[in-house]
Amino acid sequence: MITNPTLYSIILLLFPVHIFSQQQPKEFVSKKDSLLPGTATSVSFTIENITSGNKVYDFRVETSGQYIVPIITKSEYPVLAGQSSVYIVPLRVAAECPQGNYTVTLYGKEKNNGDPVIKSLQVTVSGNKKLSVTAINSPEFVKAGETINSSFLLKNSGNITENLLLESKNATVDNSSHLLLQPGETKIVTVSKSTSSDLGKNEYFNLNLSVSSVDNPQEIQTVYTTTKIISIKPTDDDIYHRLPISA
């Protein structure tokens, strides 16, 4: 069985820190940290013992966001007499954690006399744009005169709501041309193209869907599908381009 001090030592190896003297500047504690969604990271609190006796604290950690989870929620932590040291709080930030400000709070109680310790730190989860567009369904071929219907999957794997503009240069977007996609949300978009029944020979048609951000129109993703159109009224091509002979 791994004890709390041993487990905390393992975490310190994963998140290396220096043990600071009492002269450790307080700005280290009060600074505003920026966290990346989808990562494991850590924040720090300075714990001071200005007395002449050693102290041992029982600590627990809470956060103001359900997507920011302490890797260790409870631990026992010693601080030597007249010293201060940095207590590391390892955190796991979920990929879907919304952008914004959150609070990490450290609650502690000294084991011998019950003296409480409460420290809070504000952190900011930064924005992460991650939009994917994938063709998921398209016919291999259609007969001339039939409609080509292609489906595309849009997925927002980031933590920012995407305000999107949908467009096709050579077909029709069946859904609305504007789409709001929340973090973690997916949407299937269908694009269609009518073909002419008078097509004289078989040909391939490349249907496309372009997705861009309303806030940043320069960020464009374009995905293509290819479908063979089979002529139902084939015509013979004369490679010599001769005129027909009349009787």
**Model pLDDT for residues 98-119, shown as the tens digit of each residue:** 899 999 999 999 998 888 999 9
What's the DSSP call for residue 13? H
Token duo for residue 175: 């859904």
Q: What is the mean pLDDT of residues 79-94?
A: 94
Name the amino acid, one letter, at 179.
L
pLDDT digits (tens, 9 = 90+) for 183-206: 889 999 999 999 999 998 999 999
Task: Compare 195 and 7 and report the one with higher pLDDT.
Answer: 195
243, pLDDT greater than 90: no
Using DSSP's 3-state secondary structure scheme, residue 94 falls into coil
Measured CA to CA, the distance from residue 227 to residue 192 in angstroms comes to 12
Q: Which is nearest to 222 in space by CA: 173, 156, 168? A: 168
Measured CA to CA, the distance from residue 76 to residue 85 in angstroms comes to 14
Q: Are 200 and 235 in contact (CB under 8 A)?
A: yes
Q: Give backbone dihedrals phi and psi of 5, rounded to 5 degrees, phi first.
A: -60, -40
Q: Which is nearest to 225 in space by CA: 210, 198, 239, 207? A: 207
Q: Are 229 and 199 in contact (CB under 8 A)?
A: yes
Q: Are 182 and 158 in contact (CB under 8 A)?
A: no
Q: Give backbone dihedrals phi and psi of 4, rounded to 5 degrees, phi first.
A: -60, -45
Name the amino acid, one letter, at 73.
T
29, pLDDT greater than 50: no
Q: What is the mean pLDDT of residues 171-180?
A: 91
Q: What is the pLDDT of residue 30?
A: 35
Neighbours of 47 (CB within 10 A): 21
